[in-house]
Structure 1
Amino acid sequence: MIPWRSTHNHERRGGAALFKRITGSFLLNKGHLYSFIICLTGLGLFVIYSEGSLQHFSSSAWGWVTAMAGAAVILTLFTFQLPPQGNGLSLDSSVYLACIFVFGPSFTLMVLLLSSLVLMFFEWGNTAWWKHLNNFAVYCIMITSASYVFAALGAVYGPLLSSRLEAYISAMAIYFILNTLLIGFYYYVVFHKNLYDTLKGMLTDTILAYSCTLVLSLVLTILLYHNQMVGLGLFLCLSILISYSFKRLFSMYRDIEERSNRDPRTGLFNHSYFELALEEEMRSSQASGTALSLAMIDIDDFKKYNDHFGHLKGDGLIVFLAELLKRETQDTNIMVSRYGGEEFTLLMPGYDATAARNFMESLRKTLNHSRFEGSEIFPQGCLAFSAGIAAYQPDVHFKSELVDHADQALYYAKKQGKNLVHIYGSQSPLEQDIDFSQDVRDIEQQLNLFMYKDLETFKHSKRVFRYAMDISELLNLDPLTKRQFTLGALIHDIGKLEIPWGILNKKDKLAPEEWEMVKWHVTWGREMALTNDKFKELAPYIELHHERYDGKGYPYGFKYEEIPRLCRMLTIIDSFDAMTTERPYQPTKSFQEAIVELRACAGSQFDPELTELFIQYIQKQDPCGSEAAIYIS
């Protein structure tokens, strides 16, 4: 019955759908009170405006009431959806508005009463009586308010008068404004939604639905007055055809959308849809605090199979695995996608790393025992995949980071002999130490390029690395986090290799355009790190070490907890070393002066808690503040 409905989002529903959304009896005491006030107001207005119509209507008038109520019921039953979001549109409000313009409020309320009773009969057992009552009351408020505005502006009931267009427009406006407000206040009271955002979103999404209903109400007004029942019949035929056409359009739209989101060979979701879903699930996990894991799998030795049997058989193997993934995940909320080639992703809301590993291990064993033609040529003697798992953490801001973590875990599983499931960061301490030493050597080889271009940047990177090693012990970081933090500190200025020699070694203060170029080093450094699978995870330290706690840093202007905690610590270390080391574009400070500067900027440039922790570390290492502390490791 309501002019606008949605099957997509409960925040986008109209009057009747508002109350149908609620399951069970009542949700909250505030909801009870709000519904009670609405019912009292609506029923009171019905009594005032109906003016004893039940006794005074003629048989002819009752015939018209029945006809109009029947039209409203039919249009309610023919609700259709509009692309892209699936917002529903019911044209019954065009009937009520036309009744106001032609017959007046008392007649319209009788139409509303009869249509409400009929719909309650049709939906008996499916919808609670109080929901119908609330829906009826909402309509009473909208109809009586629109009628009052219509009459107050000097319009008369009957034919459409072009000289009183402002009255028609105002009446329709108040009708739908009240509709929006009543819904918005409900979500504000019951669900504690932001009132402004709720109303803004509803108005944005309903403008098309409201516009259609407004135009059709004026069309029906003309047809009713000049053509009476024939006009009503023509209007119903037109409205039903519009509803049917939009249903077909929406079905076609959904079909096209579905095809665009699916991989044509396997029927799984494609890479593009996976990216959108991952971003949405990360937002949801961050807001609710629920677990989220991402698994990436790759068919082991697929190239060998492809080369031996040909691409057609290889495609068959990909489809076989896709069908197995569909079957094994059909009773879960796991979303499976084809990431590309023989790689697949499993987005796992509600799964922590351990639960994800258990599921993937079961999946791996199922594949190992699955028969497929030619599987005997595999080194394992059976079908197998390697899998990498990454659990979402609140300080992971970009979906690419989570994908990189899962990809690195997958790479590690491959490196360990394949047919394995590996959780990102779960290597043994000895393995981590060996890998760490090798990674330090690899990064230092790249930093050696600074030896001829900017020796100070090379030395600065080494000092910041030593500070980070000490701080990681002070913070009692786990081995994986320690590795990322210290390597991130070592490589954080790698992007300066892209800055011209003349600017890096300039003795005078940098010009504004030169300073803008220097600021680009965080972005260039990130891109350089992303080209090496081993160092993708270090990208946040490179890119975010010039963000400020107050949000005035670069490149994104993140603030507070939006900046990962260890990136905030790296900012402090980097700044301290920059202040206490000779630089061509700023004066050198003593350690004590630098400590004073850190405290002065705590809360603005630096995280105050981490700043104090770093100062305590410096003072403990060298209470006198001598510059020898710079070489402590």
Structure 2
Amino acid sequence: MNSSFLHNRGHLYSFIICLIGLGLFVIYGGGSFLHFSSSAWGWITAMAGAAVILTVFTFQLPPQGNGLSLDSSVYLACIFIFGLSFTLMVLLLSSLVLLLLEWGSTVWWKHLNNFAVYCIMVASASIVFTALGGVQGPLLSSRLEAYISAMAVYFILNTLLIGFYYYVVYHKNLYNTLKGMLTDTILAYACTLVLSLVLTILLYHNHMVGLGLFLCLSILISYSFKRLFSMYRDIEERSNRDPRTGLFNHSYFELALEEEMSSSKISGAALSLAMIDIDDFKKYNDQFGHLKGDGLIVFLAELLKRETENTNIIVSRYGGEEFTLLMPGYDALAAKNFMESLRKTLNHSRFEGSEIFPQGCLAFSAGIAAYQPDVHFKSELVDHADQALYYAKRQGKNLVHTYGSQSPLERDVDFSEDVRDIEQQLNLFMYKDLETFKHSKRVFRYAVDISELLNLDTLSKRQFTLGALIHDIGKLEIPWGILNKKDKLSLEEWEMVKWHVIWGKEMALTNEKFRDLAPYIELHHERYDGKGYPYGFKGEEIPRLCRMLTIIDSFDAMTTERPYQPTKSFKEAIVELRACAGSQFDPELTEFFIRYIEKREVCGSETAI
């Protein structure tokens, strides 16, 4: 989403808040300063000073680091003792002092917006307090509901105003945002609200001495929260770091990858993932022992830290001698250039015993995968990078390979080998379910034709056609009796059949070469309207070629003999496809496939033109 558009929405929201807040200030406190006595102004100054001091002692709360100060307890106590107009004047004076103190570090309109937010909360809390019978002066136990309600309104408005800002500007889920804020801050807010009652008692009975005691207590509480947050961050840092190398660990990498993919999906910014593996590390370990091997891992980790120091790249130890570099803002080309530079730097780095390596120097192999919008799961991006790494290893090591960048000749050779390997696995269907074997071969031939008509790039063509060939591999796990049952399947049997997409995906993930085919296996029974399985994805949440595979798979199932459904002619199947376009099938791709089938039938050929 365009950042200027986000900012404009944020500015509009702030402008509306300012209008409401300033309007409330004018209505309830605009001319009140003319009627205050010198004694009242002394109290206003003292209370404003207390609010400023507590704002300066703002502390952060774990786990998100949200800032919170105890100044709200001052404003609430002012409402309970002195009334609304007095409180608004304290708020105005403290806001002006903070504006002067932070002049140059914070833009003026943010101070104005903050002032307006406080005006809304203060005015609303005061109105509720008065409406429920609250009386300015000493704390009255008979009016506790007025105090509690005023504090609740103050707290709820604070949460809503901030939460709605994130919703308007960043389009985050409002419920989840509010829930997260409540979870993170409710204890600290409760502390603030209780302190407002303590201050009310101290002010009324002990005057300035009470205010001084309250400030001492509040500063100590703020300091304690600061220490707590510091300890939390220290523990969090340790839990996120690999103890041997000091790099981020695998767990942190998983979290960071999910966050960066989500951010990239929203903003459209480039994102790449690189995985590296030290070449011939086992040979070094066997020659010099594990202690020296650990030293080599630490050496590479230090090099990665140094080379990425002034970048936003997140370096993690993935496991053993494998490392990941999460690269926000890097497309595939920029990522490859960076990794090539890194590889050459390592090649020229001296380390004890490096002469035993086949390359005669330290080396790593690297695989790079660029994030695409149709990559739904972080595991897919990791698999793509892992496959690229596997390919770099297979080509002789000390190489950086980008996922999908093989030469045409290499792709053709690899494709032929992959088809042969998959067909060997499908041969298991020859004795268990011959029809599934034939169906897979027919769907594969349809996919080959369609891939040519769609002018797919070589990588997409490989994935689509091989995905079509292997899409039903999970049916090997279904009992023979269910696969070959002549009668209608029971509900329990149908539920078992639906599991073949998950079983097939797991089977594909066990083979490095076929991991990128998993989405075609897993998602070919998703529906365009979101009523499919296993996830209920809808529309463009389903990758485009998976949507096409769903059409091909269904067409072939309709036009070939099955034990549990009548066979349709090609014309009848086309009518069925059109009837289900927009619900089960992508309407645009459905018409594309129908044109292909109709032309194919006219030509009377087994292959597409």
Which of the five TM-score ranges fits, normalised by the shorter chain?
over 0.9
1:120 aligns with 2:96: no
Q: Distance in 2 between matches of 1:512 and 1:185?
A: 45
What residue in structure 2 maps to residue 8 of structure 1? none
Q: Distance in 1 between matches of 2:104 and 2:323?
A: 45
1:41 aligns with 2:23: yes
Q: Report if aligned partners of 2:22, 2:119 keep a CA contact under 8 Å in 1.
A: no
Pairwise CA distance, 1:112: 2.5
Q: Distance in 1 between matches of 2:316 and 2:459?
A: 28
What residue in structure 2 maps to residue 617 of structure 1? 596
| AA partner of residue 583 (structure 1) | R
Q: Report if aligned partners of 1:618, 1:629 keep a CA contact under 8 Å in 2.
A: no
Q: Distance in 2 between matches of 1:175 and 1:426?
A: 58
Which of 208, 212, 217 pairs up with 2:191?
A: 212
Mapping for residues 216-295 of structure 1, pairs under 5 Å: 216-295=195-274
| AA partner of residue 223 (structure 2) | Y
Pairwise CA distance, 1:39: 6.0
Question: Can you list the C-alpha shifts for 1:200-246, whole angstroms capped at 9, x where unaligned?
Answer: 66556543343222111112112222333333233222211211111
Change in CA separation of 1:210 and 1:416 when aligned onto 2, cut-off 3 Å: same
Q: Distance in 2 between matches of 1:534 and 1:185?
A: 47
Pairwise CA distance, 1:366: 0.7
Pairwise CA distance, 1:578: 0.5
Question: Can you list the C-alpha shifts for 1:132-162, whole angstroms capped at 9, x where unaligned?
Answer: 3443344334333332332232222111111
- In the superposition, the TM-score normalised over structure 1's length comes to 0.90
1:531 aligns with 2:513: no
What residue in structure 1 maps to residue 323 of structure 2? 344
Pairwise CA distance, 1:596: 0.7
Question: Can you list the C-alpha shifts for 1:283-329, whole angstroms capped at 9, x where unaligned?
Answer: 11121112111111111111111111111111111111111111111
Which of 515, 532, 547 pairs up with 1:553?
A: 532
The DSSP-based 3-state class of the residue aligned with 1:622 is helix
Which of 533, 538, 544 pairs up with 1:565?
A: 544
Which of 326, 346, 365 pairs up with 2:305?
A: 326
1:482 aligns with 2:464: no
The DSSP-based 3-state class of the residue aligned with 2:325 is strand
Which of 584, 588, 605 pairs up with 2:584?
A: 605
Q: Distance in 1 between matches of 2:38 and 2:356?
A: 88
Q: Distance in 2 between matches of 1:38 and 1:248?
A: 37
| AA partner of residue 586 (structure 2) | D
What residue in structure 1 maps to residue 65 of structure 2? 86
Q: Report if aligned partners of 1:466, 1:632 keep a CA contact under 8 Å in 2.
A: no
Which of 369, 372, 384 pairs up with 2:351?
A: 372
Q: Which moved more, 1:208-217 or 1:516-525?
A: 208-217
Pairwise CA distance, 1:175: 2.8
Q: Distance in 2 between matches of 1:154 and 1:463?
A: 80
Change in CA separation of 1:411 and 1:141 when aligned onto 2, cut-off 3 Å: closer
| AA partner of residue 52 (structure 1) | L
What residue in structure 2 maps to residue 420 of structure 1? 399
Q: Report if aligned partners of 1:580, 1:591 keep a CA contact under 8 Å in 2.
A: yes
Question: Can you list the C-alpha shifts for 1:539-562, whole angstroms capped at 9, x where unaligned?
Answer: 111111111111000000111001
The DSSP-based 3-state class of the residue aligned with 2:276 is strand
Q: Which moved more, 1:100-109 or 1:471-480?
A: 100-109
Mapping for residues 513-524 of structure 1, pairs under 5 Å: 513-524=492-503
Q: Distance in 2 between matches of 1:229 and 1:191?
A: 45
Which of 93, 110, 115 pairs up with 1:136?
A: 115
Unaligned runs of 5+ in 1: 1-21
Q: Report if aligned partners of 2:482, 2:493 keep a CA contact under 8 Å in 1.
A: yes
Pairwise CA distance, 1:176: 3.3
Q: Distance in 2 between matches of 1:340 and 1:523?
A: 26
What residue in structure 2 maps to residue 15 of structure 1? none
- In the superposition, the TM-score normalised over structure 2's length comes to 0.94
1:495 aligns with 2:474: yes
The DSSP-based 3-state class of the residue aligned with 1:510 is coil
Change in CA separation of 1:632 and 1:509 when aligned onto 2, cut-off 3 Å: farther
Q: Distance in 2 between matches of 1:307 and 1:192?
A: 54
Pairwise CA distance, 1:574: 0.7
Pairwise CA distance, 1:74: 1.5
Q: Report if aligned partners of 1:223, 1:231 keep a CA contact under 8 Å in 2.
A: yes
Which of 336, 352, 359 pairs up with 1:357?
A: 336
Which of 421, 424, 431 pairs up with 1:442?
A: 421
| AA partner of residue 549 (structure 2) | L
What residue in structure 2 maps to residue 583 of structure 1? 562
Q: Which moved more, 1:193-202 or 1:42-51?
A: 193-202
Q: Report if aligned partners of 1:50, 1:109 keep a CA contact under 8 Å in 2.
A: no
Q: Distance in 2 between matches of 1:407 and 1:209?
A: 45
Which of 484, 491, 507 pairs up with 1:512?
A: 491
Pairwise CA distance, 1:31: 5.8
The DSSP-based 3-state class of the residue aligned with 1:210 is helix
Alignment RMSD, CA only?
2.4
Pairwise CA distance, 1:104: 2.1
The DSSP-based 3-state class of the residue aligned with 2:368 is strand
The DSSP-based 3-state class of the residue aligned with 1:419 is coil
What residue in structure 2 maps to residue 97 of structure 1? 76
| AA partner of residue 337 (structure 2) | N
Q: Report if aligned partners of 1:30, 1:190 keep a CA contact under 8 Å in 2.
A: no
The DSSP-based 3-state class of the residue aligned with 2:481 is helix
What residue in structure 1 maps to residue 12 of structure 2? 30
Q: Which moved more, 1:167-176 or 1:434-443?
A: 167-176
Q: Report if aligned partners of 1:105, 1:143 keep a CA contact under 8 Å in 2.
A: yes
What residue in structure 2 maps to residue 3 of structure 1? none
Q: Which moved more, 1:249-258 or 1:162-171?
A: 162-171
Change in CA separation of 1:280 and 1:142 when aligned onto 2, cut-off 3 Å: closer
| AA partner of residue 45 (structure 1) | I
Which of 23, 47, 53 pairs up with 1:74?
A: 53
Q: Report if aligned partners of 2:10, 2:165 keep a CA contact under 8 Å in 1.
A: no
Change in CA separation of 1:123 and 1:46 when aligned onto 2, cut-off 3 Å: farther
Change in CA separation of 1:472 and 1:132 when aligned onto 2, cut-off 3 Å: closer
Q: Distance in 1 between matches of 2:602 and 2:187?
A: 70
Question: Can you list the C-alpha shifts for 1:44-70, whole angstroms capped at 9, x where unaligned?
Answer: 13544725244x243xx4443333222
| AA partner of residue 26 (structure 2) | G
Change in CA separation of 1:615 and 1:195 when aligned onto 2, cut-off 3 Å: same
Change in CA separation of 1:550 and 1:132 when aligned onto 2, cut-off 3 Å: closer
Q: Distance in 1 between matches of 2:170 and 2:375?
A: 28
Pairwise CA distance, 1:101: 0.9
Change in CA separation of 1:429 and 1:192 when aligned onto 2, cut-off 3 Å: closer
Question: Can you list the C-alpha shifts for 1:480-528, whole angstroms capped at 9, x where unaligned?
Answer: 1111111111111111111011101101111111111100111111111
The DSSP-based 3-state class of the residue aligned with 1:386 is strand
Q: Report if aligned partners of 2:526, 2:532 keep a CA contact under 8 Å in 1.
A: yes
Query: Identity percentage over the alignment?
Result: 85
Question: Can you list the C-alpha shifts for 1:381-422, whole angstroms capped at 9, x where unaligned?
Answer: 111111111111111111111111111111111111111111
Q: Which moved more, 1:167-176 or 1:212-221?
A: 167-176
Change in CA separation of 1:608 and 1:301 when aligned onto 2, cut-off 3 Å: same
Q: Report if aligned partners of 1:46, 1:140 keep a CA contact under 8 Å in 2.
A: no
The DSSP-based 3-state class of the residue aligned with 1:320 is helix
What residue in structure 1 maps to residue 3 of structure 2? none
Change in CA separation of 1:268 and 1:42 when aligned onto 2, cut-off 3 Å: same
The DSSP-based 3-state class of the residue aligned with 2:602 is coil
Q: Report if aligned partners of 1:49, 1:144 keep a CA contact under 8 Å in 2.
A: no
| AA partner of residue 536 (structure 1) | R
| AA partner of residue 37 (structure 1) | L
| AA partner of residue 484 (structure 2) | N
